[in-house]
Amino acid sequence: MNNSRIVVVLPTYCERENLPEIVGQLLKVELSRELCVLVVDDNSPDGTGDVAEELAAQEPERMSVLHRTAKDGLGRAYLAGFQRALDNGADIVIQMDADLSHPVDAIPAMIDAMDEHGAGVVLGSRYVRGGRVADEWPWHRKALSAWANFYVRMILRIPVKDATAGFKAWRADVLRSLDLGTLASNGYAFQVEMNHRAMRQGYRMVEVPITFTERHAGASKMSVRVQVESALMPWRLRFRRR
């Protein structure tokens, strides 16, 4: 992967059922630049790391695995993956979930939008025209998701419709400039803090509509602790700015 231009970072914890499908879809994406996959596994007890190694052995030029010793949070997994991708010469780094909730077929549109608008980051957005959330979601989950996004946007004034999005494409030079080692959040609030930093540094942020679906298999990693961090982080960022 040393000469790859686009690297998709996939954090995993107990995703062995979903990983072969998402990797297979990613390696079939047609782009003008080579797309590679980096799995960052947090020592999954279900053997996800072993599955990742088996998949990487089949595509050694386009896939690699970073094994971490323990479950240490989504944010820390992404940071480790970002650093590995940058060290390996990525020009663009894509972050997305490994549970098939983010549509792989949106990646070409995200890359095109980055090039067309000179964006530092492109978000796969549920809340711009043409975007939507899973039809199978009950109304209270849809309401909670919409409220969380509204809550973040109103506190921090992040100039996007989907401020809590977790499906993004970053220019490598933008990631390098964000001083990633000083990020305070670790759970899903990591997404908000990254957006906030990009906004504060004046990078153009563009949104591409996506359909966000329910995870294919396995259980959500959203704990009470993660929810509390997500609720408090926007206020911490706002007061820190002042």
Convert the pLDDT of each residue in 43-77 to its tens digit: 999 999 999 999 999 999 999 999 999 888 889 99
Predicted local confidence at residue 216, as pLDDT: 52
Distance CA 134, CA 146 (A): 13
Q: Which of 150-159, 191-200, 207-216 has the highest mean pLDDT?
A: 191-200
201: which DSSP letter? T
**Are the C-beta atoms of 234 and 155 separated by less than 8 Å?**
yes
DSSP 3-state of 99: coil
pLDDT computed for residue 30 by the predictor:
92
pTM of the model: 0.87
Report the mean per-residue pLDDT for the chain: 87
First-to-last alpha carbon distance for the chain, in angstroms, is: 42
Residue 218 pLDDT class (50, 70, 90 cuts): very low
What per-residue confidence (pLDDT) applies to 86?
96
Whole-angstrom distance, CA of residue 97 vs CA of residue 73: 13
Amino acid at 5: R
Judge contact between 162 and 123, C-beta under 8 A: yes
CATH of region 6-241: 3.90.550.10
